[in-house]
Amino acid sequence: MYVSSIKDAKSFYNGLVEDITDHPNKYPKQARKNPGEYAAVDIYLALNMHFNEAKTHRLWNKALPKNY
pLDDT at 68 over 60: no
pTM attached to this predicted model: 0.77
Contact 10, 63 (CB under 8 A): yes
| 68 occurs within a structural domain | no
| 56 occurs within a structural domain | yes
Task: Please state, in angstroms and rounded to a whole number, the distance separating the CA atoms of residues 53 and 32.
Answer: 31
pLDDT confidence of residue 39 = 94
Give the number of domains in the chain: 1
pLDDT confidence of residue 13 = 94
| 58 occurs within a structural domain | yes
Residue 16 has a CB neighbour count (10 Å cut-off) of: 19
| 1 occurs within a structural domain | no
Domain assignment of residue 16, given as a range:
6-63
| 10 occurs within a structural domain | yes
**pLDDT digits 0-9 by tens, 7-66:** 888 999 999 999 999 999 999 999 999 999 999 998 888 877 777 777 777 878 888 887
| 11 occurs within a structural domain | yes
